[in-house]
Amino acid sequence: MIPDFDQQGKAQTKEWAPEVSAPAILLENVSKGYGRIFALSNITLALNGGVTGVLGMNGAGKSTLFNILMGKLKVSQGSVKLFGTDPWKNPAPYARVGFVPEHEKMYDWMTGHGFVSTFARLNGLTRDEAKIEADRVLNFVSLEDVAHKKIGQYSKGMRQRVKIAHALVNDPELIILDEPLQGCDPLARTTIMNVIRELGRMGRTVLVSSHILQEIERITEQIVILHQGRLLALGNLHAIRERRDQIPHRISIQAENPKALAKNVIDIDEVFGISFPDGKNLSIQTHNLGAIHSQLPRIIVDNNHKITTIDNPDDDLASILGYLTSGGRV
Amino acid sequence: MTPSEENQLDVQPAVAQPDGFAAEAPVTGKGRLEAAWGSTEGDEDLSIATPTSAKSDGQIFKQQYKTWNGELNPRWMRNWAILRHHLLGIFKKGHRPWGVPIRLYLLVVFIASMSDVGMTLVSGLIGDSGLHSVWGVSRDNLYGHVLGFFPRNMLYYPVVAALLVGGVISEDRQHGTSALYFSRPITRFDYVAMKFISVAMIQGLLILITLGLYYFAEILTMGRGWSWIIDTLPMFLATVFSAVLLIFTYTSIGLSLSSVSKGKFFPGIALLSIILGTKVLAFIVSNLFDREILYLISPYDCLAHVGQAIIGTQPTYDQYSWTWSLASLVAMNAVALYVLSTRVSSMEVTRE
């Protein structure tokens, strides 16, 4: 057992200055292994500004990636830099970072306000500053009404929001949220999504993970897809989808009269198959999802169809992963 | 921000949210279905699930983020926040939650440690010189206040140290709250140093404060003057030094044990085993074989030996020099601090 001399003593945030040209996050050939198993393998990534969704199934390496970024895990290979500084060696960049962990271990005996102001003080705010800033961020996440109740009495959505508030209290440039929508009710999810979008609009670098594509889709179109610890795709979600449009898709429509609807949509050139899984549903097969979706509204309105739901069952993370891992074939 | 009329939206189906995916927004998140069907921001399931009644089931607030233009204060401010979080938890809620049994035991030990203060006051009040000769400030009594084995170093101070170090790092590891610290601009050195100082300060409250009160009670009740103070100050300061050495040793051994374990049971029991177990072992060997050398592996005996030497009481360890005990203490503390620093500097937090 040898001391880790890589740790460098002082986190003097006043003396530390970020590299002007450095991105908020820079990973170069990062690997993290646990014994013979690699949770992350050779990840190279640079992110700066806007919201980026990190997608991956359970065990893809999302939390490991975030733990490495937050200095909780040491990389086995490669280098990690936040604003140009290795956070494992010098935690000073965390003055500009806010982190919302996936699993909550919160101080249930504290009030939401107390919790946020305590961690504000750990960032170096004075007592008075911490109280003012705690009010600011609790208002931002719409928790001002319950700010002085104990966290133990909060609902899951409130707990998520107070975690977001504690991550924002130092007004960070980089915000990392690990599965922030997990277990939240629709109202809390909407509020949290609004918070994330607003931060992205402000030009902050926001990294948010999820294993549900639709969640990320509502927040951002810039995505990173991890699969079995490897970086599978990086870029615009639509661009990835457009590539996938060349392979067959299904559109499932629940309608009052699916056969009448089928009669109208069969004339669309891009439709190459139609089926009726049951009496209420119509399933359309197409190579061009976008073209169908652009024509469907007019057909429905012109012919006065009554529609209950429209769904793209192939348009989820699992199918995109299947497409990407099969080298473009499904 | 208090939600006002204009920035709160009643949840209604298919109501266009004006700022949801505005064209000027850098991040739109506009999906294909949304583009085609004109649905807008937020959770569409929500609007489907909500009835179209005049009564709203909830409110979605428009978030308006206000930036903070302040400046983060220096390192000592963050360290002070950690320290006060631990220290104030002893006295009031809203800080680190030391358990009720721990706080009760600290109170009991504080009162028990004041026994010599009380007896000194009583002897002064009733003017009993016999009582004062037993309880008043003397070289032996000063030594006994800090380093006496029974009851202080058998029932009080090691148990207090064990209770304090029990969860101070290991519970952070177990619950992952260390991750909350490490996601701040706080070095691991600062983190562990503040933990060390907070545990040491609580012990200091019991040992050093009561020692000071004992000395002050003697001055107060017996009307001691400057000459007495000047005469006795060196042995008082030597006792203070012995107490600091004791607190430092118990804390460093205890925290090193806390850093290698998860949960508070092992560090506490292990610390008591080391302090009392080695003492018992050395005592048995000394009695059976008339060899005192094993006292060198006992933290308490080394502290007592060094304390006897610097306070100037009659030594009870006479087979070897006190400097051996001092060297042994230095070695023990070095090993403990090495383990502590190694563990904390390389600590990987795998759960939050």
Distance between CA B182 and CA A6 in Å, rounded? 16
Tally the domains of chain B: 2
Q: Smallest CA–CA separation between A110 and chain B, in Å?
A: 5
Q: What is the pLDDT of residue B61?
A: 54
Residue B55 has pLDDT above 50, yes or no: no
Query: What is the percentage of chain B residues whose pLDDT exceeds 70?
Result: 79
Inter-chain CB proximity B182 and A71 less than 8 Å: yes
A10, A194, A219 ranked by CB distance to B63: nearest: A194
In sequence order, which residues have a C-beta less than 8 Å from that of residue A111 and are 6 or more positions away? A147, A148, A149, A150, A151, B94
Q: Does A7 contact B345 at a Cβ distance shorter than 8 Å? A: yes
Residues of chain A in contact with residue B33, where contact means CB-CB under 8 angstroms, are: 293, 310, 312
Contacting residues of A for B35, CB less than 8 Å apart = 293
In a domain, B351, yes or no: no
**Is there a contact between B1 and A144 if contact means CB atoms under 8 Å apart?**
yes
The residue of chain B with its CA nearest to that of A181 is B43
Whether residue A302 lies within 8 A of chain B, CB to CB, comes out as no
Phi-psi region of A266 (alpha: psi -120 to 50; beta: other; left: phi over 0): alpha
Q: Is B228 inside a domain boundary?
A: yes
B26 CA: distance to closest CA in chain A (Å) = 6
Q: Are residues B107 and B229 in the same domain?
A: yes
Tell me which residue range forms the domain holding B115. Answer: 76-345
Residues B134 and B81 in one domain: yes
Range in A299-308, B87-96, B169-178, B221-230 the model is least confident about: B169-178
Query: Is B66 a domain residue?
Result: no
- For A204, A240, B36, B69, the CA distances from A24, given in Å and listed in that order, are 9, 24, 35, 20
Same domain flag for B54 and B90: no
Q: What is the pLDDT of residue A221?
A: 83
Residue B30 and residue B97 in one domain? no
Instruction: Identify the CA nearest to A112 among candidates A75, A141, A82.
Output: A141
Is the domain of B23 the same as that of B129? Answer: no
Å from B259 to nearest chain A CA?
A: 14
Q: Identify the bridge partners of residue A176 per DSSP, sorted by sequence position.
A: A99, A207
Compute the distance between CA of residue B195 and CA of residue B198 in angstroms, rounded to an integer. 5
Instruction: Identify the domain boundary among B33, B61, B89.
Output: B61
Q: Do A222 and B64 touch (CB under 8 A)?
A: no
Q: What is the pTM of this model?
A: 0.76
Do B322 and B207 sit in the same domain of this protein? yes
Q: Which of B13, B14, B19 is nearest to B61 (CA)?
A: B19
Same domain as B278, residue B134:
yes
Identify whether B71 is part of a domain.
no
Mutate to test the interface with A, among B32, B96, B175, B260 (most CBs of A within 10 A): B32
Residue B146 — pLDDT band, cuts 50, 70, 90? very high
B294 assigned to some structural domain: yes
The predicted complex's ipTM stands at 0.70
pLDDT level of residue B50 (50, 70, 90 thresholds): very low
Asked whether residue B352 is domain-assigned, the answer is: no
pLDDT tens for each residue of A193-223: 888 888 888 889 999 998 877 788 888 888 8
Any domain includes B191: yes
Q: Is residue B313 part of a domain?
A: yes
Higher pLDDT, B335 or A155: B335
Residues B170 and B268 in one domain: yes
**Are residues B302 and B258 both part of a single domain?**
yes
- Residues B195, B166 share a domain: yes
Kindly indicate the confidence band of residue B41, based on its pLDDT and cuts at 50, 70 and 90.
Answer: very low
Contact between chains at B78 and A189 (C-beta distance less than 8 A): no
Contacts of A72 in chain B (CB under 8 A): 179, 182-183, 348-350
- CA distances B279 to A10, A95, A255, B106, B151, Å, are 40, 47, 83, 24, 14
User: Does B185 contact A123 at a Cβ distance shorter than 8 Å?
Assistant: yes
More confident position, B152 or B16:
B152
Q: Which of B97, B70, B246 is nearest to B171 (CA)?
A: B97
- Same-domain status, B147 and B51: no
**Same structural domain for residues B319 and B253?**
yes
Alpha carbon distances (Å) from B335 to A216, A247, B133, B191: 50, 65, 42, 19
Question: Would you state the pLDDT for residue A307?
Answer: 86
Domain boundaries in chain A? 25-239, 249-313
Residue-wise pLDDT tens for chain A (330 aa)?
Answer: 444 445 544 455 556 777 777 889 999 999 998 888 888 999 999 998 889 999 888 888 888 999 899 888 889 999 999 998 888 888 888 888 999 887 756 778 889 999 999 888 888 888 898 999 999 999 888 888 999 999 989 988 888 889 889 888 988 999 999 888 887 777 778 888 888 888 888 889 999 998 877 788 888 888 898 988 998 888 887 777 667 666 677 888 988 889 889 988 888 888 888 888 888 889 998 877 778 888 888 888 888 888 888 887 776 677 777 777 765 443
pLDDT band at B20 (very low <50, low <70, confident <90, very high): very low
Out of A3, A124, A140, closest to residue B345 by CB? A3
Class of domain A25-239: alpha beta
Superfamily of domain A249-313: Protein-tyrosine phosphatase receptor IA-2 ectodomain (3.30.70.2470)
Contact A293 B32 (CB under 8 A): yes
